[in-house]
Amino acid sequence: MKLCMIGTGYVGLVSGACFADLGNTVWCVDKDVNKIEKLNNNEIPIFEPGLEELVIKNSKFGRLKFTTNLGLAVKNSDIIFICVGTPISKKNKSADLRYVFNAASEVSKYINKFKIIVTKSTVPIMTGDKIEQIIMKKKRKTLFEVISNPEFLREGEAIRDFKFPDRIVVGSNNKKINKKLESLYEPLIKKGAAFFSTNRRGAELIKYASNAFLATKISYINEVANLCEKTGVDIEDVSIGMGLDKRIGSRFLRAGPAYGGSCFPKDTKAITVTADSFKSDLSIIKSVIKSNDKRRILLIQKIKAILSHKIKNKRITILGVTFKPNTDDMRESLSLLMIPFLQKKGAIINYYDPSGEKIEFSNIKNVNFYENIYDACKKSDLIIIHTEWDEFKSIDFKKISKSKKIKVYDLRNLYSPKKMKKMGLTYYSIGR
C-alpha cells in the first residue's frame, strides 16, 4: 500500500520505517528541513535500537522516502497517518491539539481522490469528529474517511512492539474502512496480533485508558514500596508474589522512581481534563497523578537523608539520566528535577548515560558528563543508579571503591543488598 506519515518524531519515524519493512511504500513528511535532510542522509534524530538499520535498508530499496512536500506525499498515498505531537497545554493540562488540527487542515488542500485519514497520535475522545469537520470545510465527505489507530510503542522496544504487537486497535464508523486497515496489518495479524475494531471514539479512549491504568500500577507499587521500607518487607518479593496472579500480571510492577516519559504524565492529566469536561470525575487517576508528584519529592528527600543533609561539596554520580533505558528521551525524567536541586545545594554532579551528553545539563555549573561509568564514579561520595541500562547491572564496585568507602542509592533495585554489604558498600534501594 501507499502510505504517508505526517511527522517524523518517535511515532511517525518508527511506524513509517516498520510499515516500509512490511513492503509498503511510505512517505515520511516533516516541516523541519534540517531533519529531512539528515534522514535522507541516513542520520537518525532519535535513539531507538534497530531503527537506523531499518531506515537505511528501506531507503535503499526505495520503499521509505523523506520529504517536506506534504502535497506530493498526500497525492501519492492512499492512507495518511497523522503522527504529530500532542503535548500538554500550559493553560489547563489538556492535550494541545493544534499540530493535529493544522495537519488535518493542510492535508485537506491536497485530497484529490478518496483518502483514509488516520490519527496515530494520542488524542482525546472526539478528536476524530473535529478533524472530520476541519476537512469537510474544503472537501466533501465522500472523498475521505477519518479513523483512529492508536500506537502502543514503548520507547527502547518500539521496533519489536510494532512487529509483534499484543493488539492492533482500529476505530472507524465505516466497516469497509476497518477491513482496509485489517488488510494493511495482515502480516502482523498472521504472526498472532489480535485485531480489534471498534468505533472511532472507542479507539481514542482505549489509548488514554490503557496508559492511565499502567501509570496506576506504577504508582501503586511505589506506594507499597514505601510501606515495605517501614516494615522490613522486601518489595521484590511482594511484586513477584502479586505478579504471579494472572489477573494482575507482573508487568509495570517494578518499584522505582516516579513514572516519566512522553506518555504517562501527559496522558493521565489529559484524560482527567476530558473527563471533567463531561462532568465525569476520574478520582482514581487524579490520585495517581498526586502520588507520582509526591514520589519525586520523596526520593529527593531520601537522597538528602542519605547524605545526612550535608550536600555542599559532595561528589554525586548519577548513572543514567533518561526516564528509561534504550532511549535518549529526557521528558519528565526524575533527573531533570534531581540534578538541578543537588547542584543548587552545592553538590558536584557527575553523570554518565549510554545515550550521550544531555543539552538539559550543559549550562549548569558543576554538572559534568563522562564517557564511561568508572571515570564518572571516581572519588564519589554517593552513586545514584537512576536508569536501568543493562551495563549498570554488572558494575565492578571494587574497582570504584578502592580509594574510599562510597554510598550507593539504587533506584532500580539492580543489586542484592546482601552482596553489596559483603563488598563493604553502604547500599540503599527501593522498598527493601
Catalytic pick from 4, 18, 83, 263? 263
CB 114 within 8 A of CB 140: no
Nearest to 63 by CA among 124, 10, 19, 118: 19
Pairing of strands 64-67, 115-119: unpaired
CA distance 171 to 71: 26
What's the sign of the alpha-carbon dihedral 92, 286, 217, 388?
A: positive
CB 50 within 8 A of CB 159: yes
Q: How far apart are the first and last CA of the chain?
A: 53
CA distance 269 to 290: 10
If DSSP codes are grouped into helix, strand and coil, which group holds residue 420? Answer: helix
Nearest to 139 by CA among 105, 175, 171: 105
Write 70-75 long-range contacts (CB < 8 A, 24+).
Answer: 70/6, 70/29, 70/106, 70/107, 70/110, 71/109, 71/110, 72/27, 73/4, 73/6, 73/27, 73/29, 74/4, 74/107, 74/110, 74/111, 74/115, 75/110, 75/112
Pairing of strands 348-352, 315-319: parallel
Cell 533518561 belongs to 322
CA distance 194 to 283: 31
Please say if 263 is a catalytic residue: yes
CB 120 within 8 A of CB 81: yes
Bridge partner list, 118: 81, 147
Supply 318's cell numbers.
Answer: 548519577
Task: List active site positions.
Answer: 263
